[in-house]
Structure 1
Amino acid sequence: MQSMIDIEDWVRAQPNAQIPEAKSYRLRLWDGDGFDEKRSLSDAKPSGRQILDAFDQSPADEHVLLYLPRREKLEVIELDDTIDLRVRGPERFFAFKTDRLLNFIVNGHRFSWGASTISVALIRLIARIPDNDTLFLERIDAPDKELTDDDTVRLSGKGLERLVSRQPSWKLNVQGVLLTLTSPVVVVKDALAQAGFDPSAGWIAILKRRGEAKLQIALTDTIDLTLPGIEKLRLTPAQINNGEVQTAPRREFGLLEKDEAYLNERSLHWETFVDGGRRWLLLSNFVLPEGYNHSVVDIAIDVPPTYPRSEIDMFHCFPHLTLGNGRVIGETSGRTAIAGQTFQQWSRHLNGQTRWNPATDSVMTHIAVVETALLKEVGE
């Protein structure tokens, strides 16, 4: 037989195990000012009076004792009631110097309490509300009040206070469809499916965040809704068909495997073809940040035959871009004929520490250069 068992420690370490016999048992009691220090009892089946006496809650007949067993509901213990500490595994005792109990309801279950107020933290403990659930105080003539663990609930009012817990939720507007999500992190293609859009239909996904430029993201990317300012997910068809027969994208030369994977993951509509002896990567309907005279543009990138040993330089736009505020875009006066159309040349070059490195740079990193250049011109 053990000399002493701390019941709280035992239950924490072995929540489903039978508490063995011991010469004494240590308990904890809440007395209105918080949980008191632990006290020991030599009787494995103490009465309510013995527990109150052990914690100097006297006279015992002027007190009410409440008991929260393991996995069971809070209950009142009369002075002559006995509790087998080894069987029920108490978590907490609560003592009040009072002649009456007040009631409140959480998720449809009634609970008794011996004070005029109770903290939200204690409500969570007693009603076993998960930490990630939000607790609300129900109101008739106003919206329910969201509570924090620092709040207290007054029980001595005219009516019976009712509280309800709800799982946290996050909102995301997907092309006008408002989703309510129970997880703050969602994969883009899953959000499309939940909103009723076919993820395989070739969508371009644009994430709009308040105060920031629109960002084109891949269908395999995740959106973290805990980040501030996320407003909506806008969808644009990757290719608009005006009635003509659609043809497969041209693949007249290959790119690096990681380039093609990146382009596909971002759901970019891309082609490779040779024109005028030059190898072109064409990004069709590339979504632009706000501030230009067009919302989408075709971007052509000259891929040298010896890529990636040779660097990719500049990029070319069709139709030609100007700024909405009338400001001239520097270093864009050059013109390049590509597949029967005249593209606007953007002279943007890597230099210094960012000079082209064949071991690390690729189409993928050059697209980052393109996006940075486009954002810079509109002050993003």
Structure 2
Amino acid sequence: MTTSQQDVQNSNDSKHGARGFEIQIGNEELSFHSAFIEDPVPTGRQIIDLGDFRPALDYQVFQVLKNGLMENIRPDETVDLRATEIEKFLIFRSDGSFRFELDGDEFQWGARLITGLTLKKLAKVDLVRYGVWLEVPRGDDVPIADTDLFDVSKPGVERFFTGIVKTTEGGAPC
């Protein structure tokens, strides 16, 4: 076995223990838990089944990519878990997905509603110092509070952006 093959094997061994390959399964609040699967190349349906979501047809799987964006995984589509990092997946009870833009990046979301806090988590910004706003062309942008539920199912693509919330002269958030 070559050195690079040995490195890949060692990496696979650390991810594939006695219980199988570790993955992270999350929900629309971006709350994740560990799960283990034996198949190194599972289908979307296997991931839904692993999360014990029934009936499977009522759910969608999104893979959280390394850059933080998400990709919808069809029930018959496979995902290779043999990479060096633990893969993350979001599972939504939904039959459709909704697109929005956040800080210039396009996201797909599997639920009709999303909170301001979840938007900030997706943007990977400091949750205390930053706020999130809905961009309103030719109007005043609308702040989205952490606990506000925003409906992304409306026609068109919503555009959100984050920024540091208003500060006092000393630099502490208001």
Same fold (TM over 0.5): yes
Structure 1 residue 48 displacement after superposition = 1.2
User: Which shifted more, 137-146 or 102-111?
Assistant: 137-146
Change over 3 Å in CA distance of 1:159–1:51 after alignment to 2: same
Per the alignment, in what secondary structure is the counterpart of residue 28 of structure 1?
Answer: strand
- The aligned residue for residue 147 of structure 1 is 144
Q: 1:98-122 deviations in whole A, cap 9, x for unaligned?
A: 2221111112221111111012222
Change (3 A) 1:33 1:163: closer
CA distance in 2 between counterparts of 1:57 and 1:96 reads 9
Match of residue 89, structure 1, among 85, 91, 95: 85
- Name the structure 2 match of 1:22: 17
Partner of 2:161: 164
Note the 1:209-358 alignment, pairs <5 A.
224-226=170-172
**Could you tell me how far apart the structure 2 residues matched to 1:123 and 1:146 are?**
12
Q: Cα deviation per residue 1:61-108 (whole Å; 9 max; x = unaligned)?
A: 332111113334211112222222241634532122322211111122
Distance in 2 (alpha carbons) for counterparts of 1:100 and 1:88 = 31
Rounded to whole Å, the distance in 2 between the matches of 1:117 and 1:168 is 23
User: What's the CA shift string for 1:111-135, capped at 9, x where partnerless?
Assistant: 1111110122222233333433321
By how many angstroms is 1:169 displaced? 5.5
Question: What secondary structure, in the 3-state scheme, does the structure 1 residue paired with 2:72 have?
Answer: strand
**1:135 and 2:81 are equivalent in the alignment:** no
Q: Is the 8 A contact 2:120 2:162 kept in 1?
A: no
Structure 2 residue 52 is the aligned partner of structure 1 residue 56: yes
Q: Distance in 1 between matches of 2:59 and 2:158?
A: 24
- 1:74 maps to which residue? 70
Are the counterparts in 2 of residues 47 and 80 from structure 1 also a CA contact under 8 Å? yes
Cα deviation, 1:199-250, whole Å, max 9, x if unaligned, reads xxxxxxxxxxxxxxxxxxxxxxxxx24398xxxxxxxxxxxxxxxxxxxxxx
Q: Aligned residue for 1:114?
A: 110
Cα deviation, residue 37, structure 1: 4.8
Quote the Cα distance in structure 1 between the aligned partners of 2:92 and 2:173: 44
SS of match in other structure, 1:29: strand
* Aligned equivalents of 1:106, 1:54: Cα separation in 2: 30
Could you tell me which amino acid in structure 2 is paired with residue 150 of structure 1?
Answer: T
Q: Secondary structure at the match of 1:87?
A: coil
**Post-superposition offset of 1:36:** 6.4
Report the structure number with the largest CA radius of gyration. 1
Cα-Cα RMSD:
2.9
Distance 1:90 1:72 in 2: 14
Once the two structures are TM-superposed, the CA of residue 53 in structure 1 deviates from its matched residue by: 0.7
Go from structure 1 to structure 2 and tell me whether the alpha carbon gap of 1:81 and 1:89 turns closer, same or farther (over 3 Å shift).
farther
Change (3 A) 1:115 1:76: same
Q: What stretches of structure 2 of length at least 5 have no aligned partner? A: 1-10
Determine the C-alpha separation between the residues in 1 that align with 2:65 and 2:85. Answer: 6
What is the CA deviation profile of residues 142-191 of structure 1, one whole-angstrom value per residue up to 9, with x for unaligned ones? 421223322222112233211011244547xxxxxxxxxxxx6xxxxxxx
Q: CA-to-partner distance for each residue in 1:280-328, whole Å, 9 max, x for gaps? A: xxxxxxxxxxxxxxxxxxxxxxxxxxxxxxxxxxxxxxxxxxxxxxxxx
Aligned residues: 160
User: TM (normalized to structure 2)?
Assistant: 0.73
Q: C-alpha distance in 2, partners of 1:127/1:90?
A: 20
Secondary structure at the counterpart of residue 149 of structure 1: coil
Partner amino acid, structure 1, of 2:17: A
| Runs of 5+ consecutive residues of structure 1 not aligned to the other structure | 1-17, 172-183, 185-223, 229-380
Question: Structure 1 pair 78/49, CA: closer, same or farther in 2 (3 Å)?
Answer: same
Shift of 1:42: 1.8
Residue 97 of structure 2 contacts residue 108 of structure 2 at CA under 8 Å; is this kept in 1?
A: yes
